[in-house]
Amino acid sequence: MTARSIESEGEPKVGGDGPAPVWGRVVGIDPGLNVTGYAVVDPGPRGPIVVEAGVIRPGSSDRALGQRLEHLYQNVLELLAAYPPGALALEKVHSHAKFPRTAILMGHARGVIMLAAATKGIPVFGYAAARVKKTLTGSGRAPKDQMQRAIQTELGLAEVPEPHDVADACAIALCHYQIGRALRG
């Protein structure tokens, strides 16, 4: 699977003018201010399938924070208009004592993503990295290669999604998909 980057082309449509949400569709997002991965996962006859995946590049740290957040917000709105989901799954903020700034910046990115979803009336579900790993592999401490194999197998992909931001977004979407399936059935 090859990821693509989305760039804004005009104003995204906000409101009820676009297509109706697809029941069971999940948009998974791995938030970041430099690179945000996303994956649109639909239910299929043999399991979940990736409809679209790629990255949003809000810009490097030489751009003002407000500009990067606005770019991320507009691109998420565009994504949600093009692929209206029933739910948005988002990685929860994780922090490490050595890198508190990372958690703060990730919190900014999560905030604008959640705002975009709220603008569209889309429910947001947050998952900790350990929960995603446990749901997909059975172990909350699964190594990256085990996670990649689980994503590849579950989605029936010929290769592991690249870059890692897309793979992480696929994992978050799959986590929500599997938890929802367990609750329904």
Catalytic residues: 30, 91, 165
Cα–Cα separations (whole angstroms), residue 70 to 55, 63, 77, 108: 16, 11, 11, 11
Unique residue bearing structure tokens 């606005």: 70
The alpha carbon of 155 is separated from its chain's Cα centroid by a whole number of angstroms, namely: 15
